[in-house]
Amino acid sequence: MSGLEQLRSADRFGAWFCGITLNVARRWLRQARAEHVASWPELAAPDPGPQERAELSDLATSVRAAVAQLADGQREAVLLFYLQGLSHREVAAELGISVGAVKARLHQARSALTPALTPLVTTPKEPAMTAAAQAPAWVDVFAAEVRRNDSADPARQAHVVILAEHSGSRQLPIWIGPAEAIALALCLESQETPRPLTYQMAARLLEASGSHVTEVRITRLTDETFYAAIIVDGPAGSREVDARPSDAVNLALVAGAPIRADNTLLDNPGAAGRPEWRGYTTSAPDIARQATELMEQSLHRPCL
């Protein structure tokens, strides 16, 4: 700095210098801000691009096709609840059914949609997984028949229930106890009993508590033992109850609930167990008739 002695008011130099410094600092700040904004990366556009729109269209088409394959009641519930955004109560009013029935239909629809929609959520960054690895592929089955071998010795009698695929020819034999076999045979033959049996009582207890069986699942085979689960929908929501297959199938028949089996069980030759069940000739009508005769005889016995 030179020529300070020539200033007319040397005592004002400090304020003047501060003003110049402030202006320079402001100019540098504006330049730095402009350079910083210019260096920002490009932001994603708020609207999807052509490729993303095409992918979303394909996804929507796949979902609509899967929903279209559902049973009528399930499809109506899905469209109203998930696509139109109605509440459970509003869907129930629209369809003229109970709220519990709406939840049951949605639960059944989700189970039916899982195999078809699971592959759609696999991302390229993750290794592709089969639907069976991510979630079981449930196959609708029904209790086709109950059989017993021809041994006259009750201790040597063996009973088997054959679950058959609704839309195929695969079968799943499961060995069960005599009491459970009799109950199944009576139900398959629509035989009336003087008093409610255990499974009728269980279904009525569920009804009395505001609950109902939505479906039964044969879940796995471990160490030659089958496992099952009963899906119950009630005031506290949906619950899964561990059960023996014989009990689960009996309760499903009484409650009118669908029966489903893991697809891997139907594809597993080892799940068919011992082949001698094909030679069992005593069928459900025979078992039901014998059980009915025994019950009628017991009614005429004097009580001690």
Q: Report the alpha-carbon angle 154-156-157, nearest 5.
A: 65
Which CATH number does the domain housing residue 199 bear? 3.10.690.10
pLDDT of residue 6: 57
Count of domains for the chain: 2
- My answer on whether 95 and 170 are in the same domain is no
- My answer on whether 147 and 110 are in the same domain is no
- My answer on whether 85 and 152 are in the same domain is no
Report yes or no on 18 lying in a domain: no
- My answer on whether 60 and 194 are in the same domain is no
- My answer on whether 158 and 219 are in the same domain is yes
Phi and psi at 103, nearest 5°, equal -60, -40
Question: Of the candidates 185, 194, 193, 155, which has an alpha carbon nearest to the alpha carbon of residue 246?
Answer: 185
Report yes or no on 232 lying in a domain: yes
CA–chain centroid gap for 204, Å, is 25
69, amino acid identity: Q
Per-residue pLDDT of the chain (304 residues), as tens digits, is 455 555 556 565 566 666 667 666 666 666 554 444 333 343 444 555 677 777 777 777 877 888 888 888 888 888 888 877 888 888 888 888 887 777 878 877 787 777 777 776 654 444 444 444 557 799 999 998 898 888 888 788 888 899 999 888 899 999 898 889 888 888 888 877 778 888 999 999 999 999 999 999 999 988 888 999 999 999 989 999 999 999 999 999 999 999 999 999 888 766 666 677 788 878 888 888 877 777 666 655 554 4
- My answer on whether 145 and 89 are in the same domain is no
- My answer on whether 257 and 204 are in the same domain is yes
- My answer on whether 108 and 201 are in the same domain is no
CB 164 within 8 A of CB 141: yes
Specify the pTM: 0.54
Q: Long-range contacts for 238-243 (Cβ within 8 Å, ≥24 apart)?
A: 238/103, 238/107, 238/214, 243/216
Burial of 184 (C-beta count, 10 Å sphere; 0-12/13-18/19+)? buried
DSSP code at position 303: P
pLDDT of residue 81: 83
* Radius of gyration in angstroms for the set of CA atoms belonging to the chain, rounded to a whole number: 35
Structural domain of 105: 56-120
CB 142 within 8 A of CB 170: no
Report yes or no on 19 lying in a domain: no
Which CATH number does the domain housing residue 103 bear? 1.10.10.10
Q: Which residue's structure tokens are 């109560």?
A: 89
Q: What is the number of other CB atoms lying within 10 angstroms of the CB of residue 227?
A: 16
Phi and psi at 243, nearest 5°, equal -155, 160
- My answer on whether 109 and 159 are in the same domain is no
- My answer on whether 160 and 294 are in the same domain is yes
pLDDT of residue 219: 92
